[in-house]
Amino acid sequence: MSHRILVTDEIDREGVALLRAVPEFEVDELPTLPAAELLERIDQYDAIVGRSATRMTDALLRRATRLRVVGRAGVGVDNIALDTATELGIAVINAPAGNTVAVAELFFGGVISLLRHLTQADVSMHEGRWERSELLGTELRGKTLGIVGLGRIGGEVAHRAHAFGMDVHAYDPYVSDERFAALRVKRARTLGEVLAVADFLTVHVPLTDETTGMIDAAALQQLRHGAVVVNMARGGIVDDDALRAAIDRGQVGGAVLDAYAKEPLTGDHPFRPYANVVLTPHIGASSAEAQRNVAVDACEAVRDALLRGDLSRSLNGALAGEDAATLGPALWLARRAATVARALLAELGGTAIDSLTLRTGDDLTASAGALLAAAAAGTLEGVVEAERLNLINARSLATARGIVLATGGGGGFAPHSRAIEVRLVAGALSMRVGGVAALDTPPRLTRIGDFHVDVAPRGTLLVLSNHDVPGVIGRVGTTLADAGVNIAEYHQARLAAGGDALAVITIDGAPPAHVRDTLTALRDVSSATLVRFGSDP
């Protein structure tokens, strides 16, 4: 299967080469396109890789009927309508680690430039002046660095700050105590705590509803007198008007800014005249090494998503952060167990699903969210457009249809630590289907309703309800043989001799349309359900 990929915004050649090396890919490299032209072309592509210059708006994503992956060669995704992408099942992949060192190094470059008046010194020397006595600077040693956001970049800044002899404090409620200890950073339990001790305040958080305007007038008032504010993350996290006012009254001694609420800066921006504000044109990631790294990271992730369905590096995928290779069999089983449960429930008359509950063995409890998404996808197969149903949007699509989703966790459940059970409810009817996704053997279904079974959910399954009497298996086998249907596996289960029984039969290919009716017409066969799966891995 071939895939067409649009590469724009001058992605580094090493990253593009990874895509061009794949025979199944057709790669178009184009400069940053005007919005109208991109809107006309986007429906031709399965993936797009770009940087911040290309805006992936709601309208653009809805026009992109083939699009499966958006690759962002960089960290920020505020140029991408992430909610829309999730709704449409489009994976959004960024490259969060590639520019980490570049930004951390620029932080110290900018701060030292401010403290040692390097810009003024350079200008004066080039203009023929010698102003040594007027350029008295300040050292970093012994000062307190306050970091808001101790993620990848914040952590790199903290690590390097120790080399300068700085005391490092940070505020990040989403980071463990263990990471603080490993980085030798003192934990601030509130934003106010870190503001109160900071001689230098730097923000390394994404721009969200929570962080927009985080460093406002009230926050700046809490800083130590003469503190320096640094923003190399995203414009809007620091309130520029409040920062300018704080500098004017001397509360803030200066600033280093690489990100702005509106870019590029044009005209007489208010900060341009300030000698104690270092301005750079959003160059935090603009090192040759960083551009190569983020391009390679993004293109690798796009390649793997298209070729293998690996969503472990997507921001909006259920697999984000998971080990795709290890979890893959469990995802496959959860989706197929739900498909079987839905088909059997429909046979009983339960077509409108009210709820889906997933239970897992202990080893899979941590991945219950991803497995629930897979089960939701199995529940919705044949209900929504197949090309737009995947692990990214399955949960939201199920919820939109009124299906209540829940997980039951581990807690010693079931006979195996990698067991999975899906339970669907439709009105007064319910159906549960379970199995085991062991690491050393192929996934198997081990329970349908109250019956214990052992069968691989591949190709086409034929599930029969029958009475446990002699001759049924022979009559079923003869009927399938007469129809030219080959049996791959046949598993017969019963609750008690002479009572109800269940046959689960794996057959090759799709049977003729009349087979189901022929089977249900057999003596002692009460129902026959065909379950057709998609392609097998």
Catalytic status, residue 416: no
Q: What average pLDDT does range 470-489 have in this prediction?
A: 90
What does the pLDDT look like over 421-436, one tens digit per residue? 999 999 999 999 999 9
- Residue range 222-273, pLDDT digits in tens: 999 999 999 999 999 999 999 999 999 999 999 999 999 888 888 888 999 9
In this predicted structure, the answer to whether residue 385 has a pLDDT above a threshold of 60 is: no
Which pLDDT does position 537 carry in this prediction?
A: 46
* pLDDT of amino acid 395: 85
Least trusted range by pLDDT, from 66-75, 244-253, 374-383, 474-483: 374-383
CATH number belonging to domain 3-97+290-308: 3.40.50.720
Q: Is the pLDDT of residue 321 over 80?
A: no
d(CA 269, CA 240): 11
- Give residue 184's region: left, alpha or beta (phi > 0; psi -120 to 50): left
Under the banding of pLDDT at 50, 70 and 90, the label for residue 464 is very high
Q: Does residue 234 have an active-site annotation?
A: yes
pLDDT for 141 equals: 98
CA–centroid distance for 495 within its chain: 44
Q: What pLDDT does residue 394 have?
A: 85
Mean pLDDT of 309-332: 76
Region 103-118: mean pLDDT is 97
Q: Is the pLDDT of residue 47 over 80?
A: yes
Provide the angle, in degrees to the nearest 10, between the axes of the packed helices 118-126 and 100-115: 70
Q: Do domains 100-279 and 324-532 have the same CATH topology?
A: no
CA-to-CA distance for 276 and 294, rounded, in angstroms?
Answer: 32
d(CA 20, CA 513): 44
* pLDDT tens, position by position, 180-226: 999 999 999 999 999 999 999 999 988 887 899 999 999 999 999 99
In three-state secondary structure terms, 97 is: coil
User: What is the structure's pLDDT at 42?
Assistant: 97
Angle, CA 160 vertex, CA 159 and CA 163 arms, to 5°? 110
- Asked if 296 and 290 count as a contact pair (C-beta separation under 8 A), the reply is no
Q: Does residue 324 have a pLDDT over 80?
A: no
Q: How confident is the model at residue 535 (pLDDT cuts 50, 70, 90)?
A: low
Q: Which of 134, 263, 289, 385 is catalytic?
A: 263
In the predicted model, is pLDDT for residue 386 greater than 50?
A: no
Contacts 24+ apart (CB under 8 A), 424-428: 424/338, 424/341, 424/342, 424/345, 424/350, 424/353, 424/355, 424/356, 424/379, 425/350, 425/353, 425/354, 425/355, 425/356, 425/357, 426/345, 426/350, 426/351, 426/352, 426/353, 426/354, 427/350, 427/352, 427/354
Closest CA to 302 of 70, 36, 121, 1: 70
Domain 324-532 - what CATH class? alpha beta
Per annotation, catalytic residue among 51, 187, 282, 303 = 282
Where are the domains positioned within the chain? 3-97+290-308, 100-279, 324-532
For the segment 348-370, the average pLDDT, to the nearest whole number, is 89
Whether the predicted pLDDT of 509 surpasses 90:
no
Q: Is 263 a catalytic residue?
A: yes
pLDDT for res 366:
84
pLDDT beyond 50 at 412: no
pLDDT category, 408, cuts 50, 70, 90? confident
**For 5-21, how does the pLDDT look when each residue is reduced to its tens digit (9 = 90+)?**
999 999 999 999 999 99
On average, the pLDDT of the chain sits at 90
In this predicted structure, the answer to whether residue 475 has a pLDDT above a threshold of 70 is yes
| Superfamily holding 100-279 | NAD(P)-binding Rossmann-like Domain (3.40.50.720)
Handedness of CA 397, 403, 404, 410 (dihedral sign): negative
Q: Which of 117, 204, 234, 418 is catalytic?
A: 234
Whether the full predicted model's pTM is greater than 0.85, yes or no, is no
